[in-house]
Amino acid sequence: MDLTIVVGGSAGQGLKSVGMALVRAGAKAGFHVFASQDYMSRIRGGHNFFRIRFSEKEIFATNEDCHIIVALDQESVLTHQNELDQKGLIICDPSDVKTDSEKIFFVPLNQLALEHGGHKVMSSSVALGAVWGLLDGDFSDVQTLLEETWLHKGQEIVSNNQKAALAGYNYAKEHKPNNFDISFHKASIKEKRLVVDGATAMGMGSIAAGCKFVSAYPMTPSTGLTEYMASHEASCNIIVEQVEDEISAVIMGIGAANAGARALVPTSGGGFSLMVEGLGLAGITETPLVIVNMQRPGPATGLPTRTEQADLLFAVHAHQGEFPRYIIAPHSPEEAFNSMVRAFNIAEQYQIPVIVLGDQYLADSLKTTVPFNFNNVEIERGKLLSKEDGDSLGANYKRHLLTDDGISPRAFPGTSKAIVKTAGDEHDEMGGFIEDAPTRLEQHEKRLRKFIALRETTKKPIIYGPEDASIALISWGSSYGATKEAVDILNINGRSTKMIHFVDVYPLSPEVVINSIIGCKGRISVEGNATAQFARLIKAETGVGMTGYILRYDGRPLTAEYIVDKVNKGGDQPW
């Protein structure tokens, strides 16, 4: 079973309440759930929607068709009615929508909310109950969910919401159209699951990794990560600073990291642009720092609430000069959790900035997953100067000591008698300013030597599909789920295809990349940008080119249907 429900309306109508309730109800019923959000950059009005998938198989992506539309306004009907399955229905209140479509199932959401819940605001619970009634779901799932959701508001609020939902449930069962025969049974899933979005998963991973300092200026779509960290500030002993701008955010992060704290700086592309000089300071001072760039379409303000994968090459080349950095692009909440742990470990092991490239699609999409295991997290802090060594070195401590691997033993100011000195100017081993060529070469090459081990650190790509497939869809970041589903569809239709998906995107190991993709006659890059940035990076790092491209840059996420259609039509040409 694979069922999709779209909840559409304008900002301020409560569609998020309906969407979130359906997500949690589906999870309670034992299904795998994936939900994506599409919202406009405004407080009220505009067309926003939730797209929610239920399945007995794990799902990682949104799709383009649907079986039920909950339309809270007229625009939702006009926008989504062509996506509706042949047997599907549109649920709406007759006072909100005027249409004579055969696909409409009128439910008096507002009237039932007033009669049974005591207030029109309960219409979201009526809509939840109506959907569950149409699908012949077990009402106890909805009942329990509403109790968990509203208990903090008091038993009366719980009871009113439950009554409103039951009214919608009964109405749908009694008036269900004869031609609607979509239903689902309660899935027999025994494992405990949580529902989490990518931003929250990143926050969980950061806390598990021992993050103790966060500095950020609020910027969609990274705000969810900052808010999550702030909500656990007291309980997890974290300092969270909302600063005046992104320049302050990165500089404060560098200061905290130099003092020994694991520091996180969340932002989006526009904010990352302002952080570029600070990124260089982290590079030359060899400061471990984790920056999360939740990408959105640019340039400038662009589409602030939509998604894109267009900051990759910027992240690779940001700042003047040359210095090592590491870039990870997680594709799911599970990978986001693990990537944040790895990001903090790699940052401290190699004393470099690590950039985690997310995007709006990853940040805001919800997925069911098994609870993350905090007990299995290993924290690796790298080469730390022991207190005994520090006490003996004093003013002779060399923060930038020349070593074979380019990594110097690290001390924190104030924790021993080692005197820590560094600079944003080029410096010698002691951290003092220099301008002579030989010392410049020594320090510059010392930092660059880290690339050797970093390339060996790179995770091998995820390969899915027939080993001897003639077509390889090469993807990275949040395009994972859509590409994986596209592989299944293409193979069912007789086109031998596999996916080669990268999580670690810089630096690349030429040997790993070549061994993964060189044997495929058809090499198609699947990306959420217009210029095939990852394909360009692969060509620059390894010399291996692509034979085709599938590119999306309208602010919407890639879907399996989109990819399959492009494969069948011959793909795109990058700009």
Q: Is 11 a domain residue?
A: yes
Domain boundary at 322, 353, 376, which? 376
How many structural domains are present in the chain?
4
Q: Which two tokens stand for residue 231?
A: 């909500």
Q: Rounded CA gap, 224 and 360, in Å?
A: 10
Asked if 473 and 498 touch (Cβ cutoff 8 Å), the reply is yes
User: Is 492 found in the same domain as 429?
Assistant: no
On the question of pLDDT at 392 being above 90, the answer is: no
Q: What is the pLDDT of residue 190?
A: 65
User: Is 171 found in the same domain as 235?
Assistant: no
Q: Rounded CA gap, 530 and 536, in Å?
A: 12
Q: What is the pLDDT of residue 499?
A: 98
User: Is 225 found in the same domain as 368?
Assistant: yes
Q: What is the mean pLDDT of the chain?
A: 94
Q: Rounded CA gap, 483 and 481, in Å?
A: 5
Q: Rounded CA gap, 133 and 109, in Å?
A: 14
Q: What is the pLDDT of residue 416?
A: 83
Q: Hey, is 245 helix, strand or coil?
A: coil
Asked if 470 and 520 touch (Cβ cutoff 8 Å), the reply is yes
Other beta carbons within 10 Å of 283: 22
User: Is 370 found in the same domain as 393?
Assistant: no
Q: Is 431 a domain residue?
A: yes
pTM above 0.85, yes or no: yes
Q: How confident is the model at residue 70 (pLDDT cuts 50, 70, 90)?
A: very high
- Element holding 548 (H helix, E strand): strand 548-551
Q: Cα-Cα-Cα-Cα dihedral of 487, 490, 496, 500, to 10°?
A: -20
Domain boundary at 143, 175, 207, which? 175
User: Is 408 found in the same domain as 322?
Assistant: no
Asked if 54 and 366 touch (Cβ cutoff 8 Å), the reply is no
Distances (CA, A) of 256 to 213, 245, 554: 7, 17, 38
Question: Given CA atoms 436, 438, 442, 444 in this order, what sign does their dihedral have?
Answer: positive
Q: Is 538 a domain residue?
A: yes
pLDDT tens sequence across 287-328:
999 999 999 999 999 999 999 999 999 999 999 999 999 999
User: Is 207 found in the same domain as 333?
Assistant: yes
Q: What is the pLDDT of residue 135?
A: 92
Q: Is 181 a domain residue?
A: no
Percent of the chain with pLDDT over 70: 99
Long-range contacts of 403-406 (CB under 8 A, 24+ apart): 403/446, 404/449, 405/449, 405/450, 405/452, 405/453, 406/446, 406/447, 406/448, 406/449, 406/450
User: Is 426 found in the same domain as 371?
Assistant: no
What is the mean predicted confidence (pLDDT) over 434-453? 98
On the question of pLDDT at 187 being above 80, the answer is: no
Q: Hey, is 57 helix, strand or coil?
A: coil
User: Is 204 found in the same domain as 80?
Assistant: no
Angle in degrees, CA 153, 149, 145, rounded to 5: 140
Q: What is the pLDDT of residue 96?
A: 84
Task: Report the side by side order of strands in the sheet with 353-359.
Answer: 239-242, 211-216, 262-267, 289-295, 353-359, 326-328, 504-506
User: Is 216 found in the same domain as 119?
Assistant: no
Q: Is 428 a domain residue?
A: yes
Angle in degrees, CA 285, 291, 292, rounded to 5: 170
Q: What is the pLDDT of residue 189?
A: 64
* DSSP calls for 144-213: HHHHHHHGGG-HHHHHHHHHHHHHHHHHHHHH--TT-----PPP---S--EEEEHHHHHHHHHHHTTEEE
Q: What is the pLDDT of residue 328?
A: 98
Q: Is 332 a domain residue?
A: yes
Q: By mean pLDDT, which of 79-93, 183-197, 531-545 is the weakest? A: 183-197
Q: Rounded CA gap, 363 and 221, in Å?
A: 7
Q: Rounded CA gap, 451 and 457, in Å?
A: 10
Whether omega before 221 lies within 30 degrees of 0, making that bond cis, reads yes
The answer for residues whose C-beta is within 8 angstroms of residue 341's C-beta and 6 or more apart is 205, 208, 209, 377, 378
Parent domain of 205: 196-376
Q: What is the pLDDT of residue 150?
A: 86
Residue 214: give its domain's CATH number. 3.40.50.970
Angle in degrees, CA 78, 81, 83, rounded to 5: 130
Q: Which two tokens stand for residue 155?
A: 């038993």
Long-range contacts of 235-238 (CB under 8 A, 24+ apart): 236/207, 237/212, 238/207, 238/211, 238/212, 238/213, 238/214
Asked if 260 and 319 touch (Cβ cutoff 8 Å), the reply is no
DSSP 8-state symbol, 116: I
Q: Helix (H) and strand (E) counts for the chain? A: 21, 20
Asked if 83 and 65 touch (Cβ cutoff 8 Å), the reply is yes
Q: Is 511 a domain residue?
A: yes
User: Is 344 found in the same domain as 475?
Assistant: no
User: Is 246 found in the same domain as 111?
Assistant: no
Residue 551: give its domain's CATH number. 3.40.50.920
Q: Closest by alpha carbon to 135, among 189, 78, 91, 196?
A: 91
The answer for residues whose C-beta is within 8 angstroms of residue 287's C-beta and 6 or more apart is 254, 257, 258, 281, 351, 353
pLDDT tens sequence across 508-559:
999 999 999 988 889 999 999 999 999 999 999 999 999 999 999 999 999 9
User: Is 25 found in the same domain as 151?
Assistant: yes
pLDDT tens sequence across 13-52:
778 888 898 999 899 888 999 999 998 887 777 889 999 9
Domain boundary at 175, 206, 240, which? 175
* DSSP calls for 261-318: -EEEEEE-HHHHHHTHHHHHHHHHHT--EEEEEEE-S-STT--TTS-----HHHHHH-
On the question of pLDDT at 188 being above 70, the answer is: no
pLDDT tens sequence across 232-266:
999 999 999 999 999 999 999 999 999 999 999 99
